[in-house]
Amino acid sequence: MKAEALVYNETGKPLDVLSLQEIDVPAPQTGEVTIALERAVVHPSDMGMIGGTYGRLRALPAVAGREGVGRIAAVGGNAAGLSVGDRVRMPEDAGVWRAAITVPASEVEKVPSDIPAELAAMAFINPMTVWRILHDFVELKPGDWVLQNAGSSALGQCLVQIARGLGLRTVSVVRNVEKWEPLLKALGADAVLPEEKDSIKRIVEIVGGKGNLPKLALNSIGGESAARLTRMVGFAGTIVTFGGMTGDLIRFPTREFIFNDLRLRGFWMDRWNRSATPEARAETAEKIFAMMRAGTLKMAVDAVYPLREYKAAIARALEGGRNGKVQFTA
């Protein structure tokens, strides 16, 4: 059969290089399944991959998209306990902005069916990135403070909720406090500060003294925002960079390295996924699913478009000021 997919033959601006194409989806043979798309998510990293700036690029021509879920529509023999109707993750490496795909059953990850598709589709990148950063860099205990910039982002909203579930306290730095503080506080943020120099002094008051300053900070902006974080963490604090929204160079003050024993680390969820065991990936995913199921991890959807309306979807995803992700349906 044929299925719609968003394909790019060369890297470049998404609206310039993406096209809607009909691609072949063969019937599943022994050990294979066919997956029909439920929801796929649009991320900044998708734009980077299409644009040729992401850390790992696909062979061209390629189907775009990295995160989504679908239902098994057909099963060949010996499909490893998978059945028609099961919800599964759309295989990332093949590209997920497509209506259907046939893949080996061994590559399929099952996803709980009791979680709404629009929420389950967003479980694998932002929440899992937060979970790994909170567990893999600094030993944190309940009551400790965690700091982040880009606090209004989808990942920033995940952080305050996951941290709250772990008994941690958060300080989120945002560009527009008036707009974002009510939402972040409702999600569990303890404090919200503006992107300005005065926040360096204010955080000491918020946490109750320099001895309580955060051990861990998350940076996804770069530039002056990242430099400011170096003055807001405690002694031997660790700043983990996992994104660079502005594209600006990170210039850290030498004195913070010397006198505050500052540690800088990087994290890439893609690399973690490739190095972790299947058991470790499944365990992390189940932690996220459990929070979603309990209602303690909520993630907003801004708009949903069918694949054929990809130009409107991409344009919307590139707009600033949204609260929630843009998603595709078949």
**Ordered alpha helix ranges (H), 137-209:** 154-165, 177-187, 199-207
Written as one string, the DSSP assignment of 118-132 is HHHTTSSSHHHHHHH
Q: Please tell me the distance from the alpha carbon of residue 137 to that of residue 238, in angstroms, as a whole number.
A: 8
Q: For the range 88-91, what are the long-range contacts, defined as Cβ-Cβ under 8 Å and sequence gap of 24 or more? A: 88/33, 88/35, 89/124, 90/35, 90/37, 90/40, 90/65, 91/35
Alpha-carbon dihedral 6, 43, 14, 306, rounded to 10 degrees = 40
Half-sphere exposure of 172 (CA within 13 A, CB side): 32
How far is 262 from 231, CA to CA, in rounded Å?
10
- Active site (catalytic) residues: 54
Read off φ and ψ for residue 39, nearest 5 degrees. Answer: -140, 140
CA distance 216 to 190: 15
